[in-house]
Structure 1
Amino acid sequence: MSKSILLFFTLLLLTSCKKDTPNNPENDAAYYPGNDAAWETQSRSSLGWNEAALEDLKTFLRQKNTRSFMILVNGRIAVEEYFNGHTATTAWQWNSAGKTLVTATVGIAQQEGLLRINNSAAQYLGAGWTSAPPEKESMITPRHLLSMTSGLNDQYELVRPATLTYLADAGTRWSYHNVFQKLMDVVESAANQKFETYFNTRLRNKIGMEGFWANGVIFRVYHSNTRSMARFGLLALHKGKWNNEQVVDEAFFKESIAPSQNINPSYGYLWWLNGRAKHMVPGSQATFGGALVPNAPAGMYAAMGAEDQRLYVVPEKNMVVVRMGEVSDPANPRFAVSGFDAALWEKINAVIR
């Protein structure tokens, strides 16, 4: 046998061996669950995870008032746990983590030509939707609402014209603000239908989510079971793609998970971004050095809501992590970013490393 033929068969054998390795996450194609209850799993032993550390993670989750917790790898379930009577079918509130659902819906409306995020928001909301001077109001675009840079006064939680007073020119000040919910009105106006109807047909139903929007104390809040949040995380992991359909325009999605302005580079379009040189947090104008969650993967982007509702998307590990539940520390409740994230990632890292 010639050396060239021998080399060919050697390479073929090596390629075949690698391809046929069972449960190797590096070789598994991206998996999307169907719309039924079936969902493929990924064995933790095949991932080389520390099974002993998983028990410590579960103990931590119980102690921190968690109701449900999931980890997907390549779309497959590696961990799925429920606590305190919570089940796979129990609906729970996303709180501000649901802002990212609004982002995706705005992106879909733009790709359908119904709106443009750089147009004046008044084009969709009508003049006088704020109490700002007309020339200042006209400066505010949906993009400013997506990036939390409307310049409107953030003193009040309720969103109505009387409370939306001018504080700074749009684009010059970052402030975590409930005014984002006006984006739902933008979509309703542009699509000429209820936001929930548009959301359900263009996003929820396409990826097999179950859930509903309900009026909260301050704004409409999304409720779903844990797997539905994981489905959205999987869509986010693949930059808006589900199976063979680009549900959310890829360019828009990538824009959503990049810094939306220079004031707080750890914030995209209602997504929190890890691994940046500095960050700001809700309710403060202070700037802090370093990443949001220093011990979490640098490329992580996250949907974060009150009472520690969390959806972490980790591209470098093909991973999605979901945490739903009550506030982890009732004595120190925070909106969005909190010390809970670093404590949780300490436990996760012990399992996956």
Structure 2
Amino acid sequence: MKKFFKLIGFASFIGIFYLGFTTYPKLDLISGFSAKSIASGHFIDNRSQEMIEKGDNDIDMIDLAKNQIEDAGKFAIASVYGLKERKAIYREGLGATLINGDFDVSKPYLLPKRTTANNNSPFPYGNKEPKDTIFSNVDYTKLNAAVANAFDAKGQIKKRTRSLLVVYKDKIIAEKYDTGFDKSSKILGWSMTKSITSAMFGILEKEKKYDIYKPAPIAEWKSDDRKIITTNDLLHMNSGLEWEEQYDKICDATEMLFQAEDMTRVQLEKPAAFKPNTHWNYSSGTSNLLSGILRKQFKTHQEYLDFWFSALIDKIGMNSMVIETDMAGNYVGSSYGWATTRDWSKFGLLYLHKGNWNGEQIFNESWVKYTATPTNTSDGRYGGHFWLNAGGHFPDVPRNMYYCSGFQGQMVAIIPSLDLVIVRMGLKENPNFDFNGMLKGIIESVKK
């Protein structure tokens, strides 16, 4: 019997040792993700700690974190078994920022200047409710069934759709929200923010202030093989730079998002693994590098902060949007854009209308074509910081669909041939959520 208990004790020791060995290095990332998620969800969208923990933080390992919100100080802290405590602070206009012990919370900081148009027009060009519009070619019974099917039945948590919006010919023909969410809820787009970053270069290109086909303006690359990498290569995720993006482990992407002070430099410091335009490799580091390149196009930090909103976001009425910054004051152009579902749809409509917003050309029509043209190494899946269906990834969806895509299944789908924009926000992605089936059902309800 003693021998049996010794074996049990030894096995337990080995188990605890293995768990500690494999988990302890991840604690910084676990508590960092949790603190940042709690602070953002609570202060940007007014969600309760319980709601965030059961929703956004209901992820393997992340759910180990213990969290605390300090409303008075506008910050959240998280730790795992009392270890590796991390803190995220909230600043109105900049969102939540995960900080380290060296960050000076008393240091003054700049905020983007925001504008809200006093426009009495209905959605999408104004702030009033959309007009009820009935289209004779839309089968609303079929449409509503397809939309309802994207949500969980009561008591289930399989599909985990939070919102679904269908816009046809600029009119909302279907809109549905899960319990706890509504048209005013700001939802994190994750990597859909990459497409916002891309649009900023389209605006600079229209203003003839930037040439994406020239070598990227990075001094550190001028004396090595990276000197030939262009901004076009970066926008296509085709730079050849070394990068690992895999969210179930410690990798370049997770270390950048949850440890780096200046996220624009992480990809910049990586060596070339291949020649440009020969190997497609998805990289959030590249998107943040592009945010850093944008910052250097302006004389002051204030101009950089303002540009994203004055030139695009507020100009098209995405007034709910917040793009969060890192500790160095850079917009996290890879991942941290928040907006209401309706405002995300406005971004899709801008592309549907070939860069024209209510009569004003925000970027050139040629930029939209560039965005939706496949890079030659992605098998038709990727364009200029947008995902594509050119290769038929979604077999029952038109090949001309292109879309913004984010972690856990965020999507702004643009289908030019059908005059449709479809926005889905949620917590499940392929293969756990059937995007092809959802899109097929909606498309089949709209008769040509």
TM normalised by structure 2 equals 0.61
**Does residue 1:236 correspond to 2:346, yes or no?**
no
1:183 aligned partner: 290
Seen in structure 2, the aligned counterparts of structure 1 residues 342 and 59 have a Cα distance that, compared at 3 Å, is: closer
**Does residue 1:37 correspond to 2:149, yes or no?**
no
Deviation at 1:136, TM superposition (A): 1.4
CA distance in 2, matches of 1:139, 1:208: 38
CA distance in 1, matches of 2:295, 2:390: 35
**Does residue 1:154 correspond to 2:249, yes or no?**
no
Tell me the alpha carbon deviations over residues 232-287 of structure 1, each in whole angstroms, 9 at most, x when there is no partner: 111010111111111011112211111233553331101111133xxxxxxxxxxx
1:42 corresponds to which letter in structure 2? Answer: T
1:213 aligned partner: 323
Deviation at 1:137, TM superposition (A): 1.5
1:141 aligned partner: 230
3-state SS of paired residue (1:183): helix
1:23 aligned partner: none
For the 8 Å contact 1:104–1:253, the answer to whether it is kept is no
For the 8 Å contact 2:380–2:390, the answer to whether it is kept is no
CA distance in 2, matches of 1:73, 1:255: 24
1:1-353 aligned at under 5 Å gives the runs 33-43=124-134, 46-52=136-142, 54-62=144-152, 63-121=158-216, 123=217, 125-128=218-221, 134-155=223-244, 156-157=252-253, 158=256, 160=266, 164-178=270-284, 179-194=286-301, 195-210=304-319, 211-215=321-325, 219-276=334-391, 291-328=392-429, 340-352=434-446
Residue identity over aligned pairs, in percent, reads 24
Seen in structure 2, the aligned counterparts of structure 1 residues 272 and 94 have a Cα distance that, compared at 3 Å, is: same
For the 8 Å contact 2:268–2:289, the answer to whether it is kept is no
CA distance in 1, matches of 2:183, 2:443: 25
CA distance in 1, matches of 2:326, 2:424: 20
3-state SS of paired residue (2:238): coil
Q: Give ranges in structure 1 of 5+ residues lacking alignment.
A: 1-30, 277-290, 334-338
Q: How many residues align?
A: 295
Identify the range of structure 1 (112-121 vs 303-312) with the bigger mean alpha-carbon deviation: 112-121
Higher relative CO (Cα under 8 Å, sequence separation at least 6) belongs to: 1
1:213 corresponds to which letter in structure 2? Answer: I
Seen in structure 2, the aligned counterparts of structure 1 residues 352 and 91 have a Cα distance that, compared at 3 Å, is: same
CA distance in 2, matches of 1:161, 1:90: 33
3-state SS of paired residue (1:72): strand
CA distance in 1, matches of 2:378, 2:142: 42
Deviation at 1:313, TM superposition (A): 0.4
CA distance in 1, matches of 2:377, 2:429: 31
For the 8 Å contact 1:32–1:243, the answer to whether it is kept is no
1:281 aligned partner: none
For the 8 Å contact 1:118–1:143, the answer to whether it is kept is yes
For the 8 Å contact 1:311–1:321, the answer to whether it is kept is yes
CA distance in 1, matches of 2:315, 2:348: 14
CA distance in 1, matches of 2:354, 2:232: 19
Deviation at 1:138, TM superposition (A): 0.7
For the 8 Å contact 1:66–1:83, the answer to whether it is kept is yes
Seen in structure 2, the aligned counterparts of structure 1 residues 87 and 238 have a Cα distance that, compared at 3 Å, is: same
Deviation at 1:32, TM superposition (A): 6.6
1:8 aligned partner: none
1:48 corresponds to which letter in structure 2? Answer: V
Identify the range of structure 1 (53-62 vs 74-83) with the bigger mean alpha-carbon deviation: 53-62
TM normalised by structure 1 equals 0.76
For the 8 Å contact 2:243–2:267, the answer to whether it is kept is no
1:319 corresponds to which letter in structure 2? Answer: L
Deviation at 1:310, TM superposition (A): 0.4
Seen in structure 2, the aligned counterparts of structure 1 residues 293 and 193 have a Cα distance that, compared at 3 Å, is: farther
Deviation at 1:203, TM superposition (A): 0.4
RMSD: 2.5
2:313 corresponds to which letter in structure 1? Answer: R
CA distance in 2, matches of 1:162, 1:101: 20
3-state SS of paired residue (1:208): coil
Deviation at 1:328, TM superposition (A): 4.7
For the 8 Å contact 1:147–1:261, the answer to whether it is kept is no
CA distance in 1, matches of 2:367, 2:143: 38
For the 8 Å contact 2:345–2:423, the answer to whether it is kept is yes
2:427 corresponds to which letter in structure 1? Answer: E
